[in-house]
Structure 1
Amino acid sequence: MRIIRYYLPATIWILLVLYLCTIPGEKVPSNPFFEKIHMDKIVHMGLFGGTVFFLCLGVYLQKRMISRFTLTVIAIAAAFYGLAIEYIQKYFAVHRSFDMNDVAADTVGAIAGVIAFNLVRKWWLK
């Protein structure tokens, strides 16, 4: 039961990502300016970067260390989670579609999440 406290933020975040990525397409705000700067890709990077960050933080707080292998596995798992969500959008979500560019943004976000975690660990978690 105590282990849950380390992973509760990551669990909540992962469920939030699933919700945000599967809400009906007509409920997603649209703005020509945001489309021009590809804001949806920036959002995808942030969502999956946050996924990696919170998972890494949970592991680190629980074990007081995290290996490069674990960081890599978490980043790959988050990228596959992004791919899985794209298939969910394609086959189950209303007015949503599969977009390989979203998968790429998810993967870049996952890598950025590892970098962000390493910076936070270096500067604040000692």
Structure 2
Amino acid sequence: MRIIRYYLPATIWILLVLYLCTIPGEKLPSDPFFEKIHMDKLVHVALFGGTVFFLCLGVYLQKRVISKFTLTIIAISAAFYGLIIEYIQKYLAVHRSFDMSDVAADTVGAVAGIIAFNLVRKWWLK
């Protein structure tokens, strides 16, 4: 039961990502300004960066060490999660569609999550 405390933030975040990525399309805000700056892609970067960050944090706090291999596996898993969500949007979600550029943004976010985690680890988790 103690292990859950390390991964509870990541679990909540992952479920939040799933919820936000599968709510009906008509419930999403639509603003020409946000479309112009590709806000949707920035949101994907943040969501999947957060996924990787919280998973890495959980591993690190539990074990006090995290290998490059583990960081890589977490990032690949998060990018794959993004791909799965796109298929969920295509086949199961209401008024949502598959978008490969969202998968690319998810992958960029996964890499950004590793960078953010490494910065936090360097500056605050010594």
TM-score range for the pair, normalised by the shorter chain length: over 0.9
Residue in structure 1 matched with residue 17 of structure 2 by the alignment: 17
RMSD over aligned CA atoms reads 0.2
Map 1:1-126 to 2 at 5 A: 1-126=1-126
For structure 2, the 5+ residue unaligned runs are: none
1:30 aligned counterpart, secondary structure = coil
State the Cα distance separating 1:108 from its structure 2 match. 0.2
- The count of corresponding residues between Structure 1 and Structure 2 is 126
For structure 1, the 5+ residue unaligned runs are: none
State the Cα distance separating 1:124 from its structure 2 match. 0.2
Deviation per CA, 1:50-81, whole angstroms, max 9, x where unpaired? 00000000000000000000000000000000
Large movers: runs of 4+ above 6 Å:
none
Provide the identity percentage.
89
Q: TM-score, normalised by structure 2?
A: 1.00
CA distance in 2, matches of 1:106, 1:27: 21
Q: TM-score, normalised by structure 1?
A: 1.00
